[in-house]
Amino acid sequence: MAKVRVYELAKELGVDSKTVLSKLQDMGEFVRSASSTVEPPVVRRLREQMPAAEGAGGRKSAKPAPRPTPSPAAAASAPAAPARPAPAP
């Protein structure tokens, strides 16, 4: 098993990288940033102490929310784009 980065663990567990960093430091591990690597035995202990959130991860998705589409009534009340002026005779 290869070393895992802190941000990958955070994504897997459904929490922020800061939360994982804090927990690892509380466990006595030396980690400095979200790109620090963690040894497999430490990953196992962390997973036991921080079970993965059920469902969609328990936090906001990294994808932005879709924009709402305007209702037909709102589209009808919006001013129409001006038409091209007629050419001069």
Predicted TM-score (pTM) of this structure = 0.56
How confident is residue 55, by pLDDT bands cut at 50, 70 and 90?
very low
For residue 80, the model assigns a pLDDT of: 65
Q: Which residues contact 2 (CB under 8 A, 6 or more apart)?
A: 40
Section 42-61 average pLDDT: 70
Q: Is the pLDDT of residue 42 over 70?
A: yes
Nearest to 6 by CA among 24, 63, 26: 24
**CA-based torsion, 59, 43, 30, 9: positive or negative:** negative
Rounded to an integer, what distance in angstroms lies between the CA atom of residue 22 and that of residue 5?
Answer: 14
Q: Is the pLDDT of residue 9 over 80?
A: yes
How confident is residue 1, by pLDDT bands cut at 50, 70 and 90?
low
Look at 79 and 36; give whichever has higher pLDDT: 36
For residue 50, the model assigns a pLDDT of: 85
Q: Enumerate the domain spans of the chain.
A: 4-49
Look at 33 and 56; give whichever has higher pLDDT: 33
